[in-house]
Chain A
Amino acid sequence: MKRTFDTGNAAITEGAILAGCRLFSGYPITPATEIAENMSRRLPQVGGFYLQAEDENAALHICNGGSIGGLKAMTATSGPGFILFADPFGWAVSSEIPVVIVNSQRVGPVSGITGAPGQGEFYFSRYLTHGGNYETIVLAPNSVQEAFCLTVRAFYLAERFRTPVTVLADQMVTDGWETLIIPETDEEFRGMGLESVPRRIHPGPEFYPASDAIDIPPVVLGHNTGAACSDWTPTDRGHDTEDVTWQHKHAWRLIHKIRNHRELIDESETWFLEDDPEIILVAYGTPSRVVQSAVRAARKEGLKVGGIRPISLWPFQDALFSRKASYLTVELNWDGQLVREVQRAAAPGSSVHFWGRCGELPSVRELLAAVRRLKEGKALERDGWRTEAW
């Protein structure tokens, strides 16, 4: 094991390289630039390619192109670049091509604040392209070490599911410095619970079967298989068609190859859930670190509080919210995003509340104050325009 002290950006870089990433294409953007910089240094050392694109749209298209040539590929960006992925993300979803996307969320909308954390792309990461008819996988780390592990996992899932996988981080995770442990042997890699699959090559020319099966090798060009790779509605030969029956089969495959294998994707951390919590705090990413401390502090005060941290965000883990309780989501945005999904998933009779902020974290004290108010049946604090309630 190599024990270092490093940033989330470095962790993501090393995770990607260990997972077999050999092509990175990106466009400099705060706070994800360091991933590109690290990649530009590290990839050539391992025989990989670093390519600075003309924009983020091109970056992900370049990754897609590398992936259909057989390279494991990744791009990394922040909000203003993430919006330019709609086109190539959709192509990779529909063509069923593995690729990994990292988004270090900052304050938005648009340029917002560059060097401060936000969580404005919770839904956008789910609906990153148009047209619906697909399911997607999004993973959300809350530490440097987890950024490393989830990047490895993103590559693993992308290969098995033939699909883009998004690592939805935030500025504090990627810029933050923490201890980082990197495995140096296969045994250590497996010992840390990490998994990897090499790129395999679809034998072609038949396209993917109309089933929810995973572990079918993706289409790779250049091996004379007569492979056809297209985002158009495919027949069983991969040809384009305007037939709604084939379209339905295609959509069914895109949706259910993911939804029917949730056991490989679902991941979460919970605190005091088995301890009869009346109030449950919910957060992902960096705010979940404060939530964890707040839950412990509340327990010390004798308050019946628990916590939920979804690690895989999409597909959304409804089952985590099957307990009737008062839920409080803690998010780095003012408009409330995660809260809407919790509201939908929460057991009947639950109440769902929102505590939002953007660009800086809440304090444990503030969250405890919010918990006490909820316990007393009061509305969350409002301070003029500085409203924290939803």
Chain B
Amino acid sequence: MNGMAGVLRRGEMRDVMEKYVRPEKNPGTACSGCGLRLAHRKVLEAIDELGLGLGDVVWGTGIGCSGRQTFVTWKGDTFAGTHGRVYAMATGLRLALPPEKRLILTVGDGDAFTIGFLHLLNCARRNVDMTVVVFDNLGYQSTGGQYGVTTPLGSRTDSSPYGAWEPNWTQGGFDVLRILKEAGATFLARHTVLQGHEPVESLKRAIRNRGLSLVQLIYPCVTHYGAQALGTRDLAKIYDWFRDRTVESIDADSSDSFTTGIFHDAVGSRPEFAASMREFVASVQKEGNHG
């Protein structure tokens, strides 16, 4: 990254990183130039701007580049889950945690939208209080670059050498966020990490929501998606491709673009699951033991 913005951001990054990230895990495992560090920082900035401390957040992680970059980085209480199942774990954990604790999961697009989608949908159905941040690198990059359900059609990857042709969940009239909306999620947003402060604002809203929030944060993978699908490892070129593809409207045609913004804001519209569970249990107990 170059220019003034880059210099300022690096300064900020140190601050939130130092404040919240275990020193031995700073700056993390992402490849040099990868947008994942920016993505990680956006989440920390949102936490910081909400005035949350280490004791206010429990942080869970999935597998893949996003898992590697973020797991066991949070200085507070943290856990690393299995691939795609962290949503189910978080459901159990949510029942045990005090309601005021914020539960944040940083996962990848494969984790959330393919292997773990069943569990994520059920979290949406129940409206379990957690914030799922999907660090979307447009495919399976930690395994060397294979296509996934957010990989743009036509992309050449190691498993789509002739160009990705399978229907995905971001083009052709599909939007994975719409599926989650129908399933019951109460806050949904999509941004790219290059959109400055906008993603941070959405993340803040997501974290404040007492229900299932999901923020899809698309970021550039330099090592695989850049090199294989875009034919370059040049950061400036990759970032330009991202900016050109980004549309600041969530309703725009997504056939050739990343549509961004708040997709669904139904904060407070549905009961939260753990709260409902506690109410239900209390009501059974009040009515007496029916042995």
The interface-forming segment of A28-36, A52-60, A323-331 is: A52-60
The interface residues of chain B lying within 8 Å CB-to-CB of A61 are 81-82, 85, 88-89, 92, 119
Whole-angstrom distance from the CB of B94 to the nearest CB of chain A? 8
Q: Mark A43-54, 1 if CB is under 8 A from B, else 0.
A: 111011101011
Q: Does B200 contact A (CB under 8 A)?
A: no
B285 touches A67 (CB 8 A): no
Asked if A69 and B80 make an inter-chain contact with CB atoms under 8 angstroms apart, the answer reads no
Least CB distance, B113 to chain A, in whole angstroms: 16
Contact status B285-A230, CB under 8 Å: no
Shortest B240–chain A CB gap in Å is 35
Query: Known: A221-B77, A231-B80, A239-B25. Is A62-B72 also a contact (CB below 8 A)?
Result: no
Residues of the B chain whose Cβ atoms lie less than 8 Å from the Cβ of A87: 82, 85
Q: Give the distance in Å from the alpha carbon of A91 to the alpha carbon of B79 in the complex.
A: 11
Do A65 and B90 touch (CB < 8 A)?
A: yes
Among A59-99, those with CB < 8 Å from B are: 59, 61-71, 73, 87-88, 90-91, 95
B8: interface (CB < 8 Å): no
Give, as a whole number of angstroms, the nearest-CB distance from A49 to chain B.
5
The prevalent SS among residues of A at the interface is mixed
State whether B85 touches A228 (Cβ < 8 A). no
A65, B128: Cα distance in complex, Å: 13
CB proximity to B under 8 Å, residues A224-253: 224-232, 237-240
B-chain residues with CB within 8 Å of residue A228 when the two chains form the complex: 72, 77-79
- Give the docked Cα–Cα distance between A224 and B97 (Å): 12
What band does the interface of chain B fall in when counting residues whose beta carbon is under 8 Å from A? Answer: 35 or more
Render B100-132 as a binary contact track against A, CB cut-off 8 A, 1 for contact: 010000000000000000110010000000000
Is the Cβ of B101 less than 8 Å from the Cβ of A45? no
Name the residue of chain B whose CB is nearest to the CB of A238.
B72
- Residue of A44, A58, A90, A224 touching B54 (CB-CB under 8 A): A224
A200 within 8 A of partner (CB): no
Instruction: Tell me which of A25, A44, A67, A221 contacts B280 (CB under 8 A).
Output: A44
- How far does the alpha carbon of A265 sit from the alpha carbon of B119 in the complex, in Å? 35
B50 interfacial by beta-carbon distance below 8 Å = no
Nearest A residue to B22 via CB reads: A239
Knowing A58-B119, A91-B81, A239-B24 are in contact, say whether A64-B89 is a contact too (CB < 8 A). Answer: yes
List B contacts of A231 (CB < 8 A): 80, 82
Q: Within the complex, which residue of B25, B71, B101, B289 is in contact with A232, where a contact is CB–CB below 8 Å? A: B71
Q: A365 on the interface (CB 8 Å rule)?
A: no
Determine whether the beta carbon of A54 is less than 8 Å from that of B281.
no
Chain B residues with Cβ below 8 Å from A137 are none
A69 touches B24 (CB 8 A): no
CB distance from B206 to the nearest CB of A (A): 20
Known contacts A44-B281, A91-B82; is A69 also within 8 Å of B118 by CB?
Answer: no
Q: Tell me whether A69 and B92 are in contact in the complex, defined as CB-CB below 8 angstroms, given that A58-B119, A224-B77 are known contacts.
A: yes
**Distance of B277 from chain A, by nearest CB (Å):** 6
User: In the complex, what's the smallest C-beta–C-beta distance from B50 to chain A, in angstroms?
Assistant: 17
Q: Tell whether A147 is near chain B: CB-to-CB under 8 Å.
A: no
A373 adjacent to chain B (CB < 8 Å):
no
Once the chains bind, are B79 and A62 in contact (CB under 8 Å)?
no
Residues of A contacting B88 in the complex (Cβ-Cβ under 8 angstroms): 53-54, 57-59, 61-62, 65
A192 → B minimal CB distance (Å): 21
Give the docked Cα–Cα distance between A239 and B54 (Å).
17
Given A65-B92, A228-B72, A232-B71, do A222 and B285 touch, yes or no (CB 8 Å)? no
Knowing A230-B80, A240-B80, the reply to whether A55 touches B118 (Cβ < 8 A) is: yes
Q: Contact: A226 with B79, CB < 8 Å?
A: no
Contact A221 B93 (CB under 8 A): yes
Does A261 have its Cβ within 8 Å of any Cβ on chain B?
Answer: no
> A49-B277, A91-B82, A228-B79 are contacts. A62–B118 as well, Cβ < 8 Å?
no
CB-based contact A45/B290 at 8 Å? yes
**In this assembly, does A223 line the interface, its C-beta being within 8 Å of a C-beta of chain B?**
yes
A49-B277, A231-B82, A240-B71 known; A23+B76 contact, CB < 8 A: no
**B122 with A58: CB separation less than 8 A:** yes
CA of A33 to CA of B101, assembled, Å: 34
Q: Which residues of A contact B101 (CB under 8 A)?
A: 222
Tell me the chain B residues, 1-58 only, with Cβ under 8 Å from chain A: 22, 24-25, 54-55, 58
11 A-B contacts (beta carbon < 8 Å)? A23-B95, A45-B289, A49-B95, A58-B118, A64-B92, A65-B91, A65-B93, A66-B95, A69-B96, A222-B58, A227-B77
What 6 new A-B contacts, CB under 8 Å, besides A49-B277, A229-B79, A238-B72? A45-B285, A54-B118, A61-B82, A62-B91, A221-B58, A230-B72
Residue ranges of B at the interface with A (Cβ–Cβ < 8 Å): 22, 24-25, 54-55, 58, 71-72, 75-82, 85, 88-98, 101, 118-119, 122, 277, 280-281, 284-285, 289-291
What 6 A-B pairs have minimum CB-CB distances, sorted nearest first? Answer: A69-B96, A65-B92, A65-B89, A66-B92, A61-B88, A44-B284
